[in-house]
Structure 1
Amino acid sequence: MSENQPADAQISVMIVDDHEVVRRGIAEVIDRAEGMGVVAEAGSVAEGVRRAELVHPQVMLVDLQLPDGTGIDLMRTLRASQPGIRAIVLTSFDDDTALAAALEVGAAAYVLKSVRGAEIADVVRAVAAGRVLLDERTVTRRRREHDDPTEDLTPSEIRVVELIGDGMSNREIAERLSIAEKTVKNHITSLLAKMGLQRRTQVAAWAAARRNHAWAQDPTK
């Protein structure tokens, strides 16, 4: 059982989802990842509160829809009793209202369940390290379809987007920029959240579409 995960795991994670198959799948991803482990699972708000009080996880992955309430209710309750827990919303709903509600109760990230397993682990690492992968600007930007999705990116993140558009792998990007591959992964985790995207392939598609548009406007470029 994942609740017997050794206490020396670098990052302790609790998963709250009412579907056991989903919980087990996520737990398998987390337990396989280096430097983290699942210390508790729960299927409801009440159970999540009880388990969190027992194990004091560093990071909580929580679904929005639970039998006795919502993930927002759970995060609000634990924010008062255990403010040190870092919460990641893992949901099927790509909804701006839910995103804003998650932000209000202190969620550090909002991830769709369509995300790849390796990306879940990357988000857990980033959030455990104190990073917030969504903010008020992200929510506001998502509500304005005409905005440039790269407007909140740092210069380094914009450069990573450009190199992804060139078809480079993470290792190739790291070599080009003379940085660690782990740093590239952290940049990608951050820029995905800021751009409102879920997968690296979406970044590549966006970069290609923007280049095609620029070429159509001026074929000499």
Structure 2
Amino acid sequence: MYGIDQDHVVTNPFLFVVDDDEVVRRSIVKRLIRLNCTVRDFESGEALINSLEHLKENPDVILLDYKMKGINGIETLRRLRKTHPMIPTFIFTAYAGERDLSLVEELGNCEVLLKTVDLHALHHIVNGAMAIKKLRMSECADC
């Protein structure tokens, strides 16, 4: 895990980054840390799915590469939706075709973004994650 500060666990977004390209993954992680996020990264869809089975806290958002060795982003998302249907997910791609995009729509709660991730796009994702977390926390307070 990167960027973990106990003060930020509750107030700052907790994001998972899944990409089999270590250089790309580390670049995204560094950018998110600069935005005061708590980040955990995974080298494959399989690693993400296995980890989610054992975690006590779910991420606020998952950033998922489309084309990976092993199971690709679509299959990872399909498996993820069986157990965690409400985690917002962003698939980064330079490869997806119309068929793939329609599959993403069917699986729900997911957006597709171009692989060239810039700090501006990540800033919007982080802001969305913070809004979602705030909403969830207020819903839990009403329980």
- Provide the TM-score with structure 1 as the length reference: 0.52
Alpha-carbon distance between aligned partners in 1 of 2:77 and 2:118, rounded to the nearest angstrom? 24
Q: Which of the residues 18, 22, 29 maps onto 1:20? A: 22
Alpha-carbon distance between aligned partners in 1 of 2:116 and 2:127, rounded to the nearest angstrom? 19
* Number of the residue aligned with 1:144: none
In structure 2, give the amino acid aligned to 1:115: V
Query: Residues 35-77 of structure 1, C-alpha deviation per residue, up to 9 Å, x if partnerless?
Result: x321x21111210112233241110000111211111111111
Alpha-carbon distance between aligned partners in 2 of 1:120 and 1:72, rounded to the nearest angstrom? 21
Gaps of 5+ in 2: 133-143
In structure 1, give the amino acid aligned to 2:79: T
Instruction: State the shift of 1:5 in Å.
Output: 5.0
* Number of the residue aligned with 1:37: 38
Question: Contact 2:13/2:130 (CA < 8 Å) preserved in 1?
Answer: yes
1:10 partnered with 2:12: yes
Aligned-residue CA RMSD (Å): 2.2
* Number of the residue aligned with 1:57: 59
Which runs of structure 1 show a deviation greater than 4 angstroms over 4 or more consecutive aligned residues? none
Structure of larger gyration radius: 1
Aligned pairs, how many?
128
Question: Contact 1:29/1:118 (CA < 8 Å) preserved in 2?
Answer: no
In structure 2, give the amino acid aligned to 1:47: A
- Provide the TM-score with structure 2 as the length reference: 0.77
Other structure's SS at 2:91 match:
strand
Alpha-carbon distance between aligned partners in 1 of 2:92 and 2:11, rounded to the nearest angstrom? 22
Instruction: State the shift of 1:94 in Å.
Output: 5.3
Cα gap change, 1:92 to 1:58, in 2 (>3 Å): same
Gaps of 5+ in 1: 131-221
Query: Residues 163-206 of structure 1, C-alpha deviation per residue, up to 9 Å, x if partnerless?
Result: xxxxxxxxxxxxxxxxxxxxxxxxxxxxxxxxxxxxxxxxxxxx
Other structure's SS at 2:20 match:
coil
Query: Residues 108-128 of structure 1, C-alpha deviation per residue, up to 9 Å, x if partnerless?
Result: 321112232221221342366
Alpha-carbon distance between aligned partners in 2 of 1:108 and 1:91, rounded to the nearest angstrom? 13
Other structure's SS at 1:8 match:
helix
Other structure's SS at 2:117 match:
coil
* Number of the residue aligned with 2:47: 47
Alpha-carbon distance between aligned partners in 1 of 2:112 and 2:60, rounded to the nearest angstrom? 17
Other structure's SS at 1:23 match:
helix
Alpha-carbon distance between aligned partners in 2 of 1:128 and 1:72, rounded to the nearest angstrom? 25
